[in-house]
Amino acid sequence: MTPRLLPYFVKQAMRGILSNRGVHAIGVGTMVVSLLIFSTFLLLFGNLNNWIEGWGHAISMSVYLQDEVDETGRDEIAAVIQDLPAAEIERFVSKRQALLDLKRALGSQAGVLDGLSHNPLPASFEVIFSHTEAQQVDLHTIKQTLEKMDGISEVQFSDEWLHRFKGLMDIIKLIGIVVGGLLCLGIVFIVTNTIKLTIYSRREEIEILKMVGATDWFVKIPFLLEGAIQGILSGIFAIGLLYLGYFLLATKKMHLLGFAGLDFTFLSYAYSLSIVLVSLALGLLGCFIAVGRFFDI
Amino acid sequence: MEPIEFTEAFNMIQIYRLFKNFGPNTAIRDLNLRVHEGEFVFVTGPSGAGKTTLLRLVFGVERPTSGHIVIHGVNLSRVSRSKLDLLRRRIGFVFQDFKLLPKKSVFENVALALEVTGERTSMIRQKTRQTLKLVGLAGKEKAYPLQLSGGEQQRVAIARAIVKDPLILLADEPTGNLDSDLTEDIMILFRSIHMKGTTVIVATHSRELLQDTAQRTVLLHDGRIAEA
């Protein structure tokens, strides 16, 4: 197979697409819809993941002090906390302030606290840890270290909600893989049948080509190019439509839904390119299946 | 193109104990035949005698049930599919129903046989024009098959078969759809191709075609050679 045949193959592929434009249009349309569903899922999943990662970057910790800690001890503890990686003291909550906060939280039920002979609530430091993952901060170790210090009665933090969210994201990811896999199978099925119809409509030409000594590959390559072109076009159209939808709807809807503060970003170039390449690969795969079954002349 | 190894030059076609069954029906039975290089042979017989099947077997479109066909030293029973494709480039086949592509011009139909070999475009153009001139179709390059008469369509089919300078030209009832004047024209064309050294086998049931012919005639009957 010589390189000078390439223009011939491209010409034949284009001719094939144009002469069966109806079949190819339906094929491309269906592929675009499938890819659009998958890339929309990818877009939503990616952004949701980013938000959760962002929330996970700032975890708050309450460091409760023993009642007998004086001002010097409190300053020492504050200094230790400030030295912790990624930590920042948001505020100091005195015993009195803690009781006031509790009363405010209880609202009309605050009267139940009136009978207390003394304030049982401890003073505490509210500490914020930012970018814990980036700085590889182990909050459990910090908790244990702080609890061993004199003057600290207890340390509390909760990253359980984060774990739950991440668990949910894992399930969504799994659903995405299953749905994506099914859509890929659907795409291969569509391309296979589109190319089969094209081959069928040109069976007379194929028969004659074989009669004059064309090799199987000589006949197959234009069909493979048709599948590749169908795949690339579908990928580009799907990404284009997704971007259009993102541009027209996403930012406005975010404001309407009250998520204006959240950054809703489009798929990265790498992801967009991957979708086009996957579409190309699926187009080629569908073609390989279609032409593989046909040639027995 | 990968060269085909030729081991024998004298016998262009050798057929040994050839059988071909289609389900329970036997189309060719115990057929032995040799055709020399540069020979012109008519294969004749009544309908269903096995003429078309024999030509299709020689062309490699059908595989024998048993027996061997050796084309210019290449045993078709042992040749790979890719080599068979290359061998077909050395054999021209003319069909009774022409088998032309209606959406391609006369020029494109003939050039097709060279395009599959990967020849240069300039060479394809030159050779196609020369061949169309040889078969008397100069000036008809841009016409489409359905705009031509039956005789002209058959000339296009012959041009496609000979444009690659085949070693063998096989023709299956090439004049079956033509009147007697056109039949004569086509036979003159076949003889001129034969004069250039091409081995020609024409399958026909036309007695008219065989009258006054000096060429060897192989008579088939019920899949066997009745007279050679």
Residues B77-121 have pLDDT tens digits of 888 888 888 888 899 999 888 899 998 999 999 999 999 888 888
Higher pLDDT, B74 or B215: B74
Q: Over the stretch A78-120, which tens digit does the pLDDT of each residue have?
A: 898 888 887 888 889 998 888 888 888 887 777 777 777 888 8
Q: With an 8 Å Cβ cutoff, are B116 and A205 in contact?
A: no
Q: With an 8 Å Cβ cutoff, are A212 and B120 in contact?
A: no
Q: How many CB atoms lie within 10 A of CB A40?
A: 16
Q: With an 8 Å Cβ cutoff, are A215 and B112 in contact?
A: no
Residue holding tokens 């906060």? A101
Task: Categorize the per-residue pLDDT at B9 as very low, low, confident or very high, splitting at 50, 70 and 90.
Answer: very low
Q: With an 8 Å Cβ cutoff, are B116 and A215 in contact?
A: yes
Distance (Å) from the alpha carbon of A211 to chain B's nearest alpha carbon: 7
Distance (Å) from the alpha carbon of A275 to chain B's nearest alpha carbon: 35
Distance (Å) from the alpha carbon of A7 to chain B's nearest alpha carbon: 11
What strands, in cross-sheet order, belong to the sheet with B168-172? B91-94, B168-172, B199-204, B40-44, B216-221, B224-227
Mean pLDDT of chain B: 88
Top CATH class, B7-90+167-228: alpha beta
For residue B79, give the amino acid letter. V
Query: Residue A7's pLDDT is what?
Result: 85
Residue B8 has pLDDT above 70, yes or no: no
Residue A163 has pLDDT above 80, yes or no: no
Residue B144 has pLDDT above 90, yes or no: yes
C-alpha closest to that of A176 among A20, A285, A40, A26? A40
Q: What is the rounded (10 degree) CA torsion for A277, A283, A289, A293?
A: -150
**Residues of A whose CB is below 8 A from B110:** none
Q: With an 8 Å Cβ cutoff, are B118 and A216 in contact?
A: no
Q: Over the stretch B192-202, which tens digit does the pLDDT of each residue have?
A: 899 989 999 99
Question: B123 in contact with A at a CB cutoff of 8 Å?
Answer: no
- Cα(A167)–Cα(B154) distance, rounded to whole angstroms? 74
Q: Over the stretch A236-274, which tens digit does the pLDDT of each residue have?
A: 999 999 999 888 877 666 665 655 556 788 888 999 999
Question: A114 in contact with B at a CB cutoff of 8 Å?
Answer: no
* Least confident residue range of A116-125, B52-61, B119-128: A116-125
**Residues of B whose CB is below 8 A from A216:** 81-82, 85
**Residues of B whose CB is below 8 A from A207:** 99
Distance (Å) from the alpha carbon of B212 to chain A's nearest alpha carbon: 32
Instruction: Break chain A into its structural domains and give their ranges.
Output: 3-54+163-294, 58-130
Q: Averaged over A146-162, what is the pLDDT?
A: 81
CA gyration radius for chain B?
17
Instruction: Break chain B into its structural domains and give their ranges.
Output: 7-90+167-228, 99-165
Q: With an 8 Å Cβ cutoff, are A2 and B118 in contact?
A: yes
For chain B, percent of residues with pLDDT exceeding 90:
53
- Cα(A24)–Cα(A13) distance, rounded to whole angstroms? 12
Distance (Å) from the alpha carbon of A266 to chain B's nearest alpha carbon: 47
Residue B116 has its nearest CB partner, among A4, A19, A214, at A214
At residue A143, φ and ψ (nearest 5 deg) are: -60, -50
Of the ranges A135-139, A175-179, B206-210, the best mean pLDDT one? A175-179
Residue A212 has its nearest CB partner, among B82, B103, B116, at B116
ipTM rounded to 2 decimals: 0.82
Query: What fold is seen in the domain A58-130?
Result: Alpha-Beta Plaits (3.30.70)
At residue B145, φ and ψ (nearest 5 deg) are: -50, -40
Q: With an 8 Å Cβ cutoff, are A8 and B115 in contact?
A: yes
Residue B6 has pLDDT above 90, yes or no: no
HEC readout, chain A: CCHHHHHHHHHHHHHHHHHCHHHHHHHHHHHHHHHHHHHHHHHHHHHHHHHHHHHHCEEEEEEEECCCCCHHHHHHHHHHHHHCCCEEEEEEECHHHHHHHHHHHHHHHHHHHCCCCCCCCCCEEEEEEECCCCCCCCHHHHHHHHHCCCCEEEEEECCHHHHHHHHHHHHHHHHHHHHHHHHHHHHHHHHHHHHHHHHHHCHHHHHHHHHCCCCHHHHHHHHHHHHHHHHHHHHHHHHHHHHHHHHHHHHHHHHHCCCCCCCCCCCCHHHHHHHHHHHHHHHHHHHHHHHHHHCCC
Query: Residue A160's pLDDT is what?
Result: 64
Residue of B nearest to A217 (CA): B82
Question: A215 in contact with B at a CB cutoff of 8 Å?
Answer: yes
Residue A57 has pLDDT above 70, yes or no: no
Give bridge partners of residue B20 from the DSSP assignment: B28
Helix (H, G, I), strand (E, B) or coil at A234: helix
Residue B214 has pLDDT above 70, yes or no: yes
The DSSP code for A267 is P
For residue A98, give the amino acid letter. A
